[in-house]
Chain A
Amino acid sequence: MRILTAVLRTIRNSRRLAAGLIILGVMVLLALFSPVIVNAIGGGKDPIEVAAYEKWLVPGPGHLLGTDQFGRDVFAMVMKALSVSLQIGAIAGIISTVAGVIVAFVAGYKGGWIDGILSTFTGILLVIPTFPLLIALSAYAKNVSLFQVGVMISIFSWPFAAKTIRSQVLSLRTRPYVDLARVSKARDLEIIVTELLPNLLPFIGVGFASSALGAIFGLVGLEVIGLGPGGVVDLGQIIYNAITTGALTLGAWPMFVVPIVLLTLLFAALNMVNIGLEEVYNPRLRGVAGE
């Protein structure tokens, strides 16, 4: 309850954060209702079945965004792919954030040799070039599920979350209010949850948003160069199809443009959330108008 009011207070203080969250909210809603939308488009049959309609129909009243090389409705495909992209972002974001937070707290709060080992490990993962490794991994991952893709990508993104949060834990754990909690007989876990965690919410938010962003775009990157794991159709996959089939020359421009517009919006929204949160916890970045 208290956390909820704090979150609301934070949002009210930053217009950027609010704007980012609204865009994100609309996209999430679209994704949530994508099965319904897809159904409505199909009107009884599956609009993204191969040969559901004629190939390469241009955008028009029947098919708002036309059809692709297999005669699938592009609008329906985009809706479904948006939902897939967002799910991958959410899965990778949650895994990275949880792993990052746990490692950061253990390392930062316990200090000493535990911190040494964990920080070295995190450091190693941070300097490994991620993209080539992802390429290698996805070469093996032929028919993988959406969840597996999310896990695969989050292996490489949690260290970023861990690094930011750890440095915050290090600075917060020496605060006098932590000492006061200790002389009030609070246990370590209690201190972490009740004293440190609430003050770290913005950082955790940033960690989540950046990991989600990294995961979505990491996957798009893989797919655009044709190395995406098979079996998962996200926005990147549609762009790849548009490129390889020369859709633009056939007048099927929405197949290329719409996913890119959606990805751009997503990128902007997640970054606005990031910057907004940063503004809130780092008042030096705030405009002169203050709170």
Chain B
Amino acid sequence: MKSELELRGVQQRFHARGVADGYITAVDDVSFSLAASPPQIVSLVGQSGSGKSTIARNVLGLQKPTAGSVLYGGKDIFKLSRAEYDEYRRDVQPVFQDPYAIFNPFYRVDRVLWKALKKFKLADTRAKGLELIEESLRAVRLEPENVLGRYPHQLSGGQRQRIMLARVHMLRPSFIIADEPVSMLDAQVRKHFLDILLDFQTKHGMTTLFITHDLSTVYYLGGEVMVITKGQIVERGPVSTVMHEPSHPYTKLLLDSIPQPDPDQRWTSRIAVDELERVDDANPAADTKPEAPIL
């Protein structure tokens, strides 16, 4: 497994109607790297529309950036040989935001696990495959008999999201790209999920890019944090440093805008909405279509 995932000057533009120059820049000259060892958790925080999901799609090879490159083991992921591509696919895996839409309603939930087994040749017999599936489900604290053979609508959001984690557990990638994986889960299930991620880091040495707009989960996970606004990464550092001594004005504003966990401090200083807007005027909600066909 390659040891590094790197973004070099990645830019992603989308055609948009009703904007001055005919396109919006969702990701603007973003460079950063993630190391597989030591395994770490790097959070990417920013408000809605700042380009977080687009970065995730670029890293996962689902969207080719308009400029710059995503490198896996030093090579552009869109120019890999067959064998390198297979390795990259196995080694960089996602957990998406919506636990409902991630399952094709037509099939039972087991299918995503069997598909992963088959496509990545993890087991040569069905019995062995089932064994792996059950082991991975237990690793994410799911009882196989409670989920196998069910349709997605028969499971809770937390269960479904943990099936995605079980899939990751089976594949053992070096990198997990988690795009707001807990934003649709309630507080208790959320903690559960984060604990499993931390578990994966320590037990299986997985590095996670954790995308979120929620600073309390960033606190909880620890590790490093990157702050993104308007498609640009403005700050990166250990969570404690960035949280306590933010260097960029946007980070300060972001920190001010969340209620403190300490009840005495809650909402002491109010910030006006237009203050946020001035620093980060949200991208125009325009009728947009991708510049390059998504493929």
**Docked pose: A183 CA to B173 CA in angstroms:** 12
Asked if A198 is at the interface of the complex by the 8 Å CB criterion, the answer is yes
Q: Which of B57, B62, B295 contacts A110 (CB 8 A)?
A: B295
Does chain A have a CB within 8 A of B72? Answer: no
A179 touches B62 (CB 8 A): yes
Write the B48-62 contact mask toward A (1 if CB under 8 angstroms, else 0): 000000000100111
Complex CA distance for A174 and B119, rounded to whole angstroms = 21
Most buried by A among B61, B107, B120: B107
Q: Is the CB of B294 within 8 A of A174?
A: yes
Q: Which of B94-109 contact A (CB under 8 A)?
A: 94, 96-98, 101-107
B86: CB under 8 A from chain A?
yes
What residues of B have a CB within 8 angstroms of the CB of A46 in the complex? none
Tell which of A173, A182, A184 has the most Cβ of chain B within 10 Å: A184
B112 at the interface (CB under 8 A from A): yes
Given A177-B102, A177-B103, the answer on whether A185 and B293 have CB atoms closer than 8 Å is no
Give bound CA distance, A199 to B115, whole Å.
18
Q: In the complex, which residues 177-203 of chain A have their Cβ closer than 8 Å to any Cβ of chain B?
A: 177, 179-186, 188, 195, 198-199
Chain B residues positioned under 8 Å from A174 (CB to CB) = 294
Q: A184 contacts B115, CB within 8 Å?
A: yes
For A185, give its contact among B86, B103, B105 (CB under 8 Å): B86
Q: Interface readout for B239-251 with A: 1 if CB under 8 Å, 0 if not?
A: 0000000000000
Q: At the interface, yes or no: B116 with Cβ under 8 Å from chain A? A: yes
Least CB distance, A200 to chain B, in whole angstroms: 10
List residues of chain B with CB under 8 Å of any chain A CB: 57, 60-62, 86, 89, 92-94, 96-98, 101-107, 112, 115-116, 119-120, 290, 292-295
Give the A interface residue count (CB, 8 A): 22
On whether A180 and B102 interact (CB within 8 A), knowing A111-B293, A174-B294, A185-B89, the answer reads yes
27 CB contacts below 8 A, A to B, read A2-B107, A110-B295, A111-B294, A111-B295, A112-B292, A173-B294, A174-B294, A175-B101, A175-B104, A176-B96, A177-B102, A177-B104, A179-B96, A180-B112, A182-B61, A182-B62, A183-B60, A183-B89, A183-B93, A184-B89, A184-B116, A185-B120, A188-B295, A195-B104, A198-B104, A199-B105, A199-B106
A51 CB, nearest partner CB in chain B, Å: 58
How far in angstroms is the closest Cβ of chain A from B104?
4
Q: Is A117 an interface residue (CB 8 A)?
A: no
Shortest B285–chain A CB gap in Å is 17
- Interface residue A248 (Cβ < 8 Å from any Cβ of B): no
Is A261 an interface residue, CB under 8 A from the partner? Answer: no
Judge whether A50 is part of the interface by a CB distance below 8 angstroms: no
Flag if B94 contacts A180 (CB, 8 Å): yes
Per the 8 Å Cβ criterion, residues 39-65 of A in contact with B are none
Residues of B within 8 A of A181 (CB): 115
With contacts A174-B294, A183-B62, A186-B119 known, what are 13 further pairs, Cβ within 8 A? A6-B106, A111-B294, A112-B292, A177-B101, A179-B60, A179-B94, A182-B61, A183-B93, A183-B94, A184-B89, A184-B116, A195-B104, A199-B106
* A184 to B85 alpha-carbon distance, docked (Å): 12
Q: Is the CB of A176 within 8 A of B294?
A: no
Give the complex CA separation of A175 and B101 in angstroms. Answer: 7
Bound Cα distance from A173 to B104, whole angstroms: 12
Q: Mark A129-145, 1 if CB is under 8 A from B, else 0.
A: 00000000000000000
How far, in angstroms, from A175 to B290 measured CA to CA in the complex?
Answer: 15
Within 8 A of B (CB), among A132-175: 173-175
Smallest CB separation, A268 vs chain B (Å): 30
* Chain B proximity mask over A88-124: 1 for CB below 8 Å, otherwise 0: 0000000000000000000000111000000000000
Q: Return B178 CB to nearest CB of chain A, in Å.
A: 13
| A176 near B60: Cβ-Cβ < 8 Å | no
**Chain A nearest Cβ from B289, distance in angstroms:** 9
By a CB distance below 8 angstroms, the chain A residues around B112 are: 180, 184
